[in-house]
Structure 1
Amino acid sequence: MRLNGKIAVVTGGSSGIGLAIAKRFVEAGAHVFIVGRRQAELDEAAQHIGTNVTAVQGDVTKASDLERLLARVKEEKGKIDVLVCNAGGGGFGPLGSLTREAFHETFTVNTAAVLFSVQGALPLLRDGASIVIVGSVAGSKGLPGGTLYAGAKAAVRAFARVWTQELSERRIRTNVLSPGPVNTPAMQHAPDAFRHMVLKDVPMARMASPEEIAEVALFLASDASSYVAGVELFADGGWAQV
């Protein structure tokens, strides 16, 4: 029970990696607030997790929704021990086809939402808390068509370095968890050519399960990683390492 009695918030917690993280945190003893845009998916996720979970409908790219989420956490629990910034996404497109609209959309959900989620949560984060930002191997690999998504994910790596310094007096640790290809619903619906492209260079020659990524998130969230701060921990089957 490595998170026994802890309060965690997981954005993008209604499916895929976020849902697996939330479920694993509950199994480890935490009460988890999951946040997502679609109420039906949230309700299904909460039912899947079972106990010690609060589902909050909201879009963390919107200031009003984020404020409402944090107000509810404050009212019901009064603190946050673990904040997982998992909400993200974005399409791919080659240089020459990119639009300003796509740029703003991709950086808003993957970068700005992380910044303002953490900044908004600061008064609730207890001293010694853990911030886990879900990045991506795309931030380090030069995937064709990945200009916007890769840039947005690379930016949060810089966030973790700065916040490790700025929050050191409060002993708040910030780390980035960067998965490789993961067998999520989004990946299952991706074109076969895309799945082949991302798998052909992975030394372990397979995708991760969301549950495997959740185990790494649990490590970063818990006291097992008490001397780990400011890192980018790859759970990518070796893809970015060789």
Structure 2
Amino acid sequence: MTTDEGKKYDGKKIVITGGSSGIGLAAARLFAAGGAHVLITGRTRSTLDAALERLGDRAVGVRSDAASLPDIKALAGTVQERFGAVDALFVNAGVTVSAPLDATTEEMFDALFTTNTKGPYFTVQALAPLLREGSGVVLTTSVVNVLGLDALSVYSASKAALRSMTRTLARELLPRKVRVNAVSPGPIDTGILDRSLPADVAETIKDDYRRTIPMRRLGTSEEVAAAVAYLAFGATFSTGAEFPVDGGGSQL
């Protein structure tokens, strides 16, 4: 890394919801390494603390539930207190639940839409007054919003709604000169399969992904983070767009 690259985000103030693991943590590491001050959120204090150990003194962590409107309101107050104004907002927090149509409950439906759609909407609403002119908002959608996959009907719909919001929020924030775009990950090896499933089962699932993805591999959290950084700072003539990071899975 050159000196210039090391200072690419020097002095920038960035908020990342769902930043204590996976894609959110990878984005936080990229921005902090580039000189930014990063505020990450997560639901679990221990996971936040572990992330902060990796990020160093350029990061602060706030325990905040993306599905809780009181938490979102409190987060806005904390951001204003710590940062004042914000240069980029990465709305990444979300949950995944899979179930076939006949096994989907109202509770599952409400939980997915509350965290994946309602939470991001009110997060942008709460933090919009703190966004500097020229700043970028990035929402995490998913390639499933354009694919019909088994047992993901509600999750896919929640992300499709977020894709629609990307356009409408982009239009509404144009007068403030704030851009709003979305990153759309495909199968990304965040480590969650290895942590949550037996090794042989996790590897079978990953092999299935490799067979169906045109690039014949899973993506990495760092590859998604690079796309987020571009949308947040580099894509200065783009708004309302969705950037797939999926090895061609939704395009080829």
Q: What is the TM-score normalised by the length of structure 1?
A: 0.95
Matched, 1:217 2:228: yes
Matched, 1:112 2:123: no
What letter corresponds to residue 24 of structure 1 in structure 2? Answer: L
Q: Distance in 2 between the 1:227 and 1:28 partners? A: 22
> Which aligned pairs between 1:37-186 and structure 2 lie closer than 5 A?
37-186=43-192
Q: Distance in 2 between the 1:231 and 1:4 partners? A: 26
Matched, 1:236 2:246: yes
Deviation for aligned residue 1:185: 2.7
Report SS of the residue matched to 2:175: helix
What letter corresponds to residue 216 of structure 2 in structure 1? Answer: A
Matched, 1:28 2:34: yes
Tell me what 1:203 maps to: 214
Root mean square deviation of aligned Cα: 1.4
What letter corresponds to residue 33 of structure 2 in structure 1? Answer: E
Q: Report the structure, 1 or 2, having the larger helix content.
A: 2
Q: Distance in 2 between the 1:99 and 1:194 partners? A: 25
Structure 2: runs of 5 or more not aligned: 1-6
Report SS of the residue matched to 2:102: coil
Q: How many residues align?
A: 241
Report SS of the residue matched to 1:122: helix
Q: What is the TM-score normalised by the length of structure 2?
A: 0.91
Q: Percent identity?
A: 37
Please say if residues 204 and 237 of structure 1, whose CA atoms lie closer than 8 Å, have aligned partners that are also in contact.
yes
Q: What is the CA deviation profile of residues 3-55 of structure 1, one whole-angstrom value per residue up to 9, with x for unaligned ones?
A: 22211110011101110011111112211100001001101101101121011
Q: Distance in 2 between the 1:89 and 1:184 partners? A: 14
Q: Distance in 2 between the 1:62 and 1:126 partners? A: 25
What letter corresponds to residue 236 of structure 1 in structure 2? Answer: D
Please say if residues 181 and 199 of structure 1, whose CA atoms lie closer than 8 Å, have aligned partners that are also in contact.
no
Structure 1: runs of 5 or more not aligned: none
Deviation for aligned residue 1:194: 4.2
Q: Distance in 1 between the 2:207 and 2:113 partners? A: 26
What letter corresponds to residue 40 of structure 1 in structure 2? Answer: S
What letter corresponds to residue 173 of structure 1 in structure 2? Answer: R
Deviation for aligned residue 1:172: 0.7
